[in-house]
Amino acid sequence: ELNFNALKDFMTRVHPNYALRDFYLTGQSYAGFYIPWLSRRLLRGIQSGDMKNTNFRGFTESGIVAGAALAHLTYGTIPQKYTDVIFRAWQKVQKGEELDLNMWDHDL
């Protein structure tokens, strides 16, 4: 929550000239822990109106350290019900269609 509030403050109070620009989150190493969380929090903030800059375009990570407990998840062990949702979302992105930000909020 602190990172979300800091980013929101940066774009509204510290540097308001960034308030309407496209932006991405990037990171490496331990970013494997906080960048996905912050991305999800940003999407929820945009959806609720709490984050005024709605131009969040995505995130990327490099050389992430996620720990042994999470490492096996990077080798394709995603349940089919999730891959179906991801695939449908990717098809929409390729067509330039808008994504439903609530697609993960229901029981898949």
User: pLDDT tens-digit profile of 14-70?
Assistant: 999 988 899 999 988 778 778 888 999 999 999 999 999 999 999 887 766 655 555
Q: Is the pLDDT of residue 72 over 60?
A: no
Q: Give the model's pLDDT for residue 24.
A: 93
Judge whether 43 and 6 are in contact, CB under 8 Å.
no
Residue 107 has pLDDT above 70, yes or no: no
Residues 85, 66, single domain; the answer is no
pLDDT score at 38 = 93
pLDDT at 76 over 60: no
Shared-domain flag, residues 14 and 60: yes
pLDDT of 34 reads 85
The rounded distance, in Å, linking the Cα atoms of 30 and 21 is 26
Range 14-48 burial, b when 16+ CB lie within 10 A, else e: eeeeeeeeeeebebeeebbbebbebeebbbebbee
Same domain, 20 and 67: yes
Same domain, yes or no: 21 and 51: yes
Q: What is the pLDDT of residue 13?
A: 93
Q: Note whether 70 and 82 are same-domain residues.
A: no
pTM of the model: 0.58
Domain span including residue 82: 78-108
The domain tally of the chain equals 2
7 has pLDDT over 80: yes
Residues 13, 28 within the same domain = yes
